[in-house]
Amino acid sequence: MTSLTLQAPAKINLTLDILRHREDGYHELCMVMQSVSLCDRIRLDFGSPGGIRAESGLRFLPNDKSNLAVAAALAFRQATGGRWQDLLISLQKRIPVCAGTAGGSSDAAAVLRGLNQLTGAGLSPQALAQIGEAVGSDVPYCVLGTTALAQGRGEKLTPLPPLPPCWIVLCKPLFSLSTPALYRAWDKARPKLRPDTQGLIQGLEQGDLTAVAQRLFNVFEHTLSPRQRREVEAIKVALVQAGALGAAMSGSGPTVFGLFDQEVAAQDAVTLLKESYPEVFLTRPIASPEEIPV
């Protein structure tokens, strides 16, 4: 086999808490993560001459090792002592780019999974996650996926019970955020309000979607500029007025999501938000790796 097509699911943060600024420059995190059914499609082609590179048809996405998918292929080759030279990674993007939903990290994780299969390396998901650590903080989570508590830099993962079945509406605001700048803003602001992570985990354990939805919380929302905060709040209010049980910003943003127990209400929210925003998606949680769309 010389080529393979895979799906790379987006993720949302049900919670995002920052515990402290570490000596190595990173921040100690505590986050509840959930994979969702919105996926990028990735094709790996061995032997297509030209070295290891990506193509996406998007001008603003790099094709060299500054693309996390290429960085993942390089890290995999180094870790496994591979001698192969040529790999074309074709990315069909659907996950919003630089939007807090782990699009780039999930593409990188899919490359690790795909190369493991194509080369017959036979590494465990845990070993692939460890290779992913050097590529990006969210890559280990994206290798394992589903519902998990992520701690440390994001690489210490504990599986959690799945989010109860629901509909998830994602909406990307019209502005962009820089992840390092958000962490710097947190260093300055040190917001006092924090998520009830244990309460949310208890909600997952009890299969109580309402309890989970009431505890969605992202500390980064409290580091946004007033204009950005207004836009995020307006989307959250629109989602809740449409029937969402709760809403929050995901990761380092700016994508906002809402959890719905009724499909019709979620679809109505999508229709309404699409009047103002180009990137709005109706998704479902992924409870096990078998549920990743093919």
Q: Which is nearer to ligand C5P, 78 or 117 (CB)?
A: 78
Q: Which of residues 26-45 bind ligand C5P (CB under 6 A)?
A: 26-27, 29
Of 17, 40, 107, 138, the active-site residue reads 138
Is 137 an interacting residue with respect to ligand C5P (CB under 6 A)?
yes
Closest approach, Cβ 156 to ligand C5P, in A, equals 11
List of long-range contacts for 188-197, beta carbons under 8 Å, 24+ apart: 188/223, 189/222, 189/223, 191/219, 191/222, 191/223, 193/217, 193/219, 193/222, 194/17, 194/219, 195/15, 195/16, 195/17, 195/219, 197/15, 197/17, 197/30, 197/32, 197/149
Q: Which of residues 205-244 bind ligand C5P (CB under 6 A)?
A: none
Nearest to 167 by CA among 66, 268, 94: 268
Q: Which residue is nearest to ligand C5P (CB)?
A: 137
Q: Which is nearer to ligand C5P, 187 or 263 (CB)?
A: 187
80 C-beta neighbours (distance < 10 Å), count: 17
Closest approach, Cβ 133 to ligand C5P, in A, equals 9
Is 80 an interacting residue with respect to ligand C5P (CB under 6 A)?
no
Q: Where are the alpha helices (DSSP H) in 134-225?
A: 139-144, 179-189, 197-205, 209-213
Span of 111-119, 176-184, 227-235, 241-249 interacting with ligand C5P by CB under 6 A: 176-184
Closest approach, Cβ 138 to ligand C5P, in A, equals 6
Contacting residue, 154, 203, 246, 251, with ligand C5P by CB under 6 A: 154
- The H or E element spanning position 267 is helix 263-274
Q: Which is nearer to ligand C5P, 138 or 231 (CB)?
A: 138
Cβ atoms of 266 and 167 within 8 Å: the answer is yes
Cβ atoms of 268 and 167 within 8 Å: the answer is no
Contacting residue, 122, 180, 226, 278, with ligand C5P by CB under 6 A: 180
Contacting residue, 136, 164, 251, 285, with ligand C5P by CB under 6 A: 136
Q: Which is nearer to ligand C5P, 18 or 200 (CB)?
A: 18
Active site residue 196: no
The Cα–Cα gap between 153 and 133 comes to: 9
SS3 content of the chain, % helix, strand, coil (to 5): 35, 25, 35
Is 186 an interacting residue with respect to ligand C5P (CB under 6 A)?
no
Active site residue 156: no
| HSE-CB of 15 using CA atoms within 13 angstroms | 28
Q: Which is nearer to ligand C5P, 100 or 154 (CB)?
A: 154
Active site residues: 11, 138
- Where on the chain is the footprint of ligand C5P (CB under 6 A)? 26-27, 29, 136-138, 153-154, 179-180, 183
